[in-house]
Homo-oligomer: A and B are copies of this chain.
Amino acid sequence: MKLHLKKNDLNKGLQVVSKIAQNKNNNMNTEYGIFIKAVNNQIEIQANDYAMGIKTIIPGIIEEEGETFVANPYLIELIRKISNDDITFIKKDTDSKLIITGGNLKFECATMNASDFNAVEIVDLGYTQLETNSLILKDLIDSTTFSCATDMSKAIFMGAYLDIHDTNISMVATDTHRLAIKKALLETPIETPLQVVIPSKLLAEISRQLPVDIPEIVTITAIRNYVAVRFGNVYIKTQLIEGNFPNYERVIPTDFQSEIIVDRDIFTGAVERTSVVAKDAQYNVINFTFSNQKIKLMSQHPEYGIVEDVVPCTMTGEDLTISFNGKYIIDILKHCRQDKISLKVKNNSPMLVTDQDKTDCLFVVTPMRNK
Asked if A185 is an interface residue, CB under 8 A from chain B, the answer is no
Q: Are A307 and B105 in contact (CB under 8 A)?
A: yes
Asked if A289 is an interface residue, CB under 8 A from chain B, the answer is no
Chain B residues, CB < 8 A from A307 = 78, 105-108
Q: Are A83 and B269 in contact (CB under 8 A)?
A: yes
Q: Are A106 and B276 in contact (CB under 8 A)?
A: no
Nearest-CB residue, chain B, relative to A270:
B104
User: Closest approach, in angstroms, between the C-beta of A48 and any C-beta of chain B?
Assistant: 20
- Give A364 to B104 CA distance when docked, in angstroms: 27
Asked if A305 is an interface residue, CB under 8 A from chain B, the answer is yes
Question: What 0/1 pattern do residues 264 to 305 of A give for CB contact below 8 A with B?
Answer: 000001101100110110000000000000000000000111
- Give A308 to B103 CA distance when docked, in angstroms: 11
Q: Are B277 and A74 in contact (CB under 8 A)?
A: yes
On whether A276 and B77 interact (CB within 8 A), knowing A83-B269, A269-B83, A270-B104, the answer reads yes
Beyond contacts A72-B304, A74-B279, A81-B273: 9 other A-B pairs, Cβ-Cβ < 8 A, are: A73-B280, A74-B277, A81-B276, A97-B305, A106-B307, A107-B277, A107-B308, A108-B305, A108-B306
Chain B residues, CB < 8 A from A280 = 73-74
Question: What 0/1 pattern do residues 300 to 341 of A give for CB contact below 8 A with B?
Answer: 000111111111000000000000000000000000000000
Q: Are A81 and B269 in contact (CB under 8 A)?
A: yes
Nearest-CB residue, chain B, relative to A279:
B74
Asked if A109 is an interface residue, CB under 8 A from chain B, the answer is yes
Asked if A122 is an interface residue, CB under 8 A from chain B, the answer is no
Asked if A82 is an interface residue, CB under 8 A from chain B, the answer is yes
Asked if A123 is an interface residue, CB under 8 A from chain B, the answer is no
User: Closest approach, in angstroms, between the C-beta of A364 and any C-beta of chain B?
Assistant: 27
